Each structure stands twice: as structure tokens, then as C-alpha cells.
Structure 1
Amino acid sequence: MPRLSEAVKRDQARITDAYHGLMATNPDDREPDAFVWALARYLIVENLALLPALEYHLSSSRERQRRLSDDYDSIHTKLRHMVKYDPSEESFVSALRAIWVDLEPHIREENDGDLEELENKMGLEDSEALGRKYETLREMLQKPYGKDGVPDEETLRDVLDTTKQELMERMGMGGGV
């Protein structure tokens, strides 16, 4: 079973690859749903698995948790904005780049500090347990949508339009982050 940091980094790699693939694709051939869903799913799972672990294990986590929550809100808002554009429009590319402006440093900060510090505080057994939780939550969000894991446009729009609080309540995770 993967450690928490391995599970998070695997998701981050999927999102990074999807972003670069989307940017490299001919504008008329862009299909953003896989990127949108990978990023939306990552944001949800990170809030349910990683943020509580940071809060519990790291004394400096209050400020970092606030910044991660701000990142979530900003990226989520920009993602909702981006999906309103036709992928062949320049506005779509501008909105996609705006997401990356927030997402790239978010990923870098997690990889260069948060995850390593958290792994050092937790130990192998706790990290593997949280890695399982992370993967389970990710799979819960994946299963209804088949092998490719991308929901239809209506479901995707519903997920993007649902607040973090509502998503957590729907998943039975209560109202807190």
C-alpha cells in the first residue's frame, strides 16, 4: 500500500500530465473533462485526507492549512470559471493558465515541505493507513464513472457547483474540514 505522500504525488502527476497534454493539444481537439475531473477529485480528496493529517500532526499546520484552504477555494473557483468557455477559445487557455498559476506552487510546496514533514511525524504505519484512506476516497469518486473515470457534463458541473461543505456532507464526512 502506498504511503500518503506517494498517493498524493501520483494524483499530482496525473493532473500535471493532463494539464500539459491539454495545453499541447490543438485547440479544436481539446477535451478538458479528464483534466477537470482529475483536478476536482484531487481537491476533494486532499481536503478529506491530507488537510486533517496536516492539522493533527504538524504544529505549524494552522497557517499552512489556511493557505491550502485558500488554494482550494481559488483553484476551485477558477476551474468553475474555465469550464464555461469552449476549449478552442483563447479565454479557455487564459483560464487554464490562471489555474496553473495557483496549482503549480501548491504542488511544489506540498512536495518540497508538507509531505516530507508529515511523513517524518507520522511514521510508516500511519502514512500507509492515510495512503489507503486517500486511495479509497479517490476510488469512491472514481467508481460511478467507469474505467476512464470522467463523469458526464451534468455530473461534472454539479460537482464543481457544489461547495466544499456540501461535498463533505454528501460523502458523510460531516461539516468540518
Structure 2
Amino acid sequence: MTRIKAAVKQDHALIKDLYHRLRDADPESRDPDEFVWALGRYLIVEDLVLTPALENHIANGGARHRRLSNDFDSITTKLRHMRRFDPSEPSFDAALTAIWVDLEPHVREEATMDLDDLEQHLSHEESTALGKKYEDIKELLQHPYGKNGVPDGDTLSAILDLSRQELMIKIGLF
């Protein structure tokens, strides 16, 4: 079974790879949907699993929860903004870079501080249970969609526009 730190870091690696592939792709043939979906799904699962775990298990967890919630709001707003542009437009590149400006320090801080702190305060079993919950919710969000599990643009926009409460109800967590 996967511990929470490994599950989150696996998503970090996927998102970094997709970002770099999207950024470096020929602007005329870029398809941002896989990156947008991987990042959106990660933010949702992080918000539902990792953020509450940090708040409940580590010192200053409430402050970290607020910081992660602010990151969630900022990055999802920037994702919605980026989706307004055609991938071949210079504005798309600027919007993609703006996402990375928020995302890169978020990932770095989470990987080097938050996850290590959390693992120190969890037993192996607790970490494995959180890792399973993280993967289960990610899998739940993954299945009903088209090519490579990526929803079409309309579905993707609808998911990103849901409030946290509405999303939790839709995926059966409430």
C-alpha cells in the first residue's frame, strides 16, 4: 500500500511532467486538457484528504490549511482563466506561466515540509490509510471520462467551477 507522501509526490511528478510537455509543445498542436485535469484532480483530492490531515495532525495545521486553501483558490482561478485562451495564443503561455508561478512553490513546500511533518506525526498504518483514501478519491474522479480519463472541455470546466461542497456531494463524500 502507498503512504500519503508517496501518493502526493506521484501526483507532483505527473503534474510537473505534463506542465513541461505542454509548455514545450508546438503551440499549434497543444492540448491542455490532460494537464488541466491532472492539476484540477490533484487540487481537489489534496483539498479533501491532505489539507484536513495536515490540520488535524501537525502543529500550525490550521495555518497550513488556510495557506493550502488559498493556493487551491488561486490555482483553480488561474486554470479557469487559462482555459479561455486558445493554446496557440501568447495569452495562453502567460496564463500557463502564471499557474506555474503559484504551483511550483506550492509543490516544493508541500514536498519538503508539509508531507515530512505529516509523516512524522502518523503511524505507518495511518499514513497508508490516508494514501489509500487519496488514491480512492482520485480513482473515483478518474473513471467516468473519455480519452485517457480526461473529461471533455465542457465537463472539465463544470468540475472546476463546482464549489468544494458541491463537489463533495457529487462524488458521494457527503
**TM class, shorter-chain normalised?**
over 0.9
Contact 2:31 2:87 in 1 (8 A): yes
Shift of 1:172: 3.1
Q: Which amino acid aligns with 2:55?
A: E
Determine the structure 2 residue equivalent to 1:134. 134
Q: Could you tell me which residue of structure 1 aligns to residue 12 of structure 2? A: 12
Name the aligned partner's letter for residue 103 of structure 1.
L
Q: CA-to-partner distance for each residue in 1:58-101, whole Å, 9 max, x for gaps?
A: 12111111000000000000000000100000000100000000
Q: Distance in 1 between matches of 2:48 and 2:146?
A: 22
Segments of structure 2 that go 5 or more residues without pairing to the other structure are none
Match of 1:29, SS state, is: coil
Mean Cα displacement is larger for which, 146-155 or 69-78?
Answer: 146-155
Partner of 1:76: 76
> TM-score w.r.t. structure 2 length?
0.97
Number of the residue aligned with 1:31: 31
Aligned pairs (5 A) from 1:17-166 = 17-145=17-145, 148-166=148-166
Amino acid at match of 2:159: V
Identity of aligned residues (%): 58
Structure 1 residue runs of 5 or longer lacking an equivalent are: none
Using the size of structure 1 for normalisation, the TM-score is: 0.95
Cα distance between partner residues in 2 of 1:76 and 1:146: 22
Alignment-mate amino acid for residue 57 of structure 2: H
Runs of 4+ deviating beyond 6 Å? none
Please give the alpha-carbon distance, in whole angstroms, between the structure 2 residues aligned to 1:146 and 1:85: 22
The structural deviation recorded for 1:170 is: 1.9
User: Which deviations, in whole Å up to 9, do the C-alpha atoms of 1:2-49 show, x marking residues without a partner?
Assistant: 100000000111110000000110100100000000000001000111
Q: In the TM superposition, what is the alpha-carbon distance from 1:164 to its structure 2 partner?
A: 2.1
Moved more, 144-153 or 30-39: 144-153
d(CA) in 1 for partners of 2:112, 2:48? 21
Separation of aligned partners in 1, 2:160 and 2:121: 33
Code of the aligned partner of 1:106 = H
Indicate if the aligned counterparts of 2:141 and 2:171 stay in contact, CA closer than 8 A.
no
Q: How many residue pairs align between the two structures? A: 174
